[in-house]
Amino acid sequence: MRSDGKAVMVRPMPMKLDEIVEETRQLPADVVAELIGRILLERHGGIEPEIEEAWKSEIERRIEEI
């Protein structure tokens, strides 16, 4: 609060890249993988349906080879 009694909004300082990397070192691998996926989707949008279908078919083909 200010001296006049009014509330003040305090914004936290943004994390530096090194701090973010250090924080992720403490997370389980699956959580880091999800975080990376979510960042990629946020920055680059979703996967085009044709590409997703092509990968799905390729994955199924490779599984059948095993």
| pLDDT value of residue 11 | 72
- Residue 9 located in a structural domain: no
- Residue 48 located in a structural domain: yes
Contact predicate 32/24, CB 8 Å = yes
- Residue 60 located in a structural domain: yes
- Residue 5 located in a structural domain: no
Please give the residue range of the domain that contains residue 48: 28-65
Q: pTM of the full predicted structure? A: 0.50
Q: Enumerate helices (H) and strands (E) in the chain, giving the number of each.
A: 3, 0
Rounded CA-CA distance 20/43 in Å is 17
Token pair listed for 27: 């997370």
| pLDDT value of residue 47 | 80
Instruction: List pLDDT tens digits, range 3-43.
Output: 677 777 777 788 899 999 999 999 999 999 999 989 988 89
- Residue 3 located in a structural domain: no
- Residue 6 located in a structural domain: no
Token pair listed for 60: 């199924």
Number of independent structural domains in the chain? 1
| pLDDT value of residue 24 | 94
Contact predicate 7/1, CB 8 Å = yes
- Residue 16 located in a structural domain: no
Instruction: List pLDDT tens digits, range 46-62.
Output: 788 899 899 999 999 99
